[in-house]
Amino acid sequence: MFKGRIEKLREAMNQKGLDGVLLLGDPNRNYLSGFTGNESYSLITKNQAFFITDSRFTQQAKQQVEDYEVLEYSKSGSFVDFLSDLVQETSIKRLGFEENIITYSIYKLYKSKVNCDFIPMHGIVEKIRIIKDDEELKLIKSAAEIADKAFAHMIDYIKPGMTEIQIGLELEFYMKKLGASDLSFPSIVASGVRSSLPHGEATNKVVNRGEFLTLDFGCIYREYCSDMTRTLVIGKPSDKMVEMYSIVLEAQKLALKEYKPGVPAMEVDAVARNYISNRGYGEYFGHSLGHGVGREIHESPVIGYRNKSKLVENMVVTDEPGIYIPDFGGLRIEDLLVVTKDGGKVLSKSPKEMICIG
């Protein structure tokens, strides 16, 4: 599996005229090696692959990383000196680096000590990661199943009078009990007027009857993220809340039908956006319809009105329209799905119809 991924990288390196690639960021380095730790490096050349770490991770790397020569730099001094020697030994002239990961100060340090050209990679590994293989799809599906089970538990657990933090903690605890290693991002638990904040993290606010309660959450299962949003009603909804909910739900379902290979991302976004606009709420839906999900919670592609690129089979993306009215409240409904030949295959199985609690 990792050999195949490395071969794809080498093809891309060839096209960009790179004779080496240095990877520091956890998602890219681990995607290409099977390592699950952090603070390590990999250097991939046209015909060799080195995994470079320090004594904290050497054993783990030797167990997890196949197809690489595992090296420990800390014995001989600093990483940059080690890199300098290795670049010389392997005759690398044009070394690709992750320009969105390496800071300016590290860039200056490398430039001053390592004798080669540093070439920004412009997301070549991310472009490979955009299409998920069977193993990745399995892991993302497992992460989504944990989120679904947690949501079912939360429907029973949540009562009026609880705080958002209390609800967020239970959600986290429950997903970790089910095997999640972490949250894919700090859970959004936003109730009442706070539900108009698309990314409102949990606070001490008490959840009251007559309010929306938006839960946007996901977990990491063996390095892969899930993501879903459901909005509950605490007590009874007002007519306005019922109207808003039904518009978002319909927009979400209509867009879901468009997630097919060959359809430009912007056209999928437009289906939900136009529906919401035509019902008079366009100004209250500010964010993109969705995004890619994988090792990172936000990956390519953006499902947004500016993205002309077309969907491809085995992309994993979200469908998450919302309406947010300042000083009133808002809601979002989000599914995680795989683009397949037959359209979007939804991984989030939790019910989407309005659920009223208490």
Binding site for Mn ion (CB under 5 A): 227, 318
Shortest separation between residue 221's beta carbon and Mn ion, angstroms: 16
Judged by beta carbon, residue 126 or residue 319, the one nearer Mn ion is 319
Judged by beta carbon, residue 227 or residue 269, the one nearer Mn ion is 227
DSSP 307: -
Judged by beta carbon, residue 19 or residue 227, the one nearer Mn ion is 227
Shortest separation between residue 229's beta carbon and Mn ion, angstroms: 7
Shortest separation between residue 319's beta carbon and Mn ion, angstroms: 9
Shortest separation between residue 227's beta carbon and Mn ion, angstroms: 4
Shortest separation between residue 253's beta carbon and Mn ion, angstroms: 17
Judged by beta carbon, residue 96 or residue 321, the one nearer Mn ion is 321
Judged by beta carbon, residue 19 or residue 172, the one nearer Mn ion is 172
DSSP 280-302: T-GGG--S-SEEE-SSSSSEEEE
Shortest separation between residue 320's beta carbon and Mn ion, angstroms: 5
Residue 316: strand, helix, or coil:
strand
Residue facing Mn ion at closest CB distance: 227
Which two structure tokens, joined as six digits, stand for 214?
A: 């938006």
Residue 339 — φ and ψ, nearest 5°? Answer: -80, 120
CA distances from 255 to 151, 153, 165, 281, 349 (A): 23, 28, 32, 16, 17
Judged by beta carbon, residue 58 or residue 318, the one nearer Mn ion is 318
Q: What b/e sequence results for 74-83 when a residue is b if at least 16 CB atoms lie within 10 Å of its CB, and e otherwise? A: eeeeebeebb
Distance between CA atoms of residues 293 and 139, nearest Å: 12
**Helix %, strand %, coil % of the chain (to 5):** 35, 25, 40
CA distances from 326 to 197, 217, 238, 240, 332 (A): 8, 22, 17, 14, 14
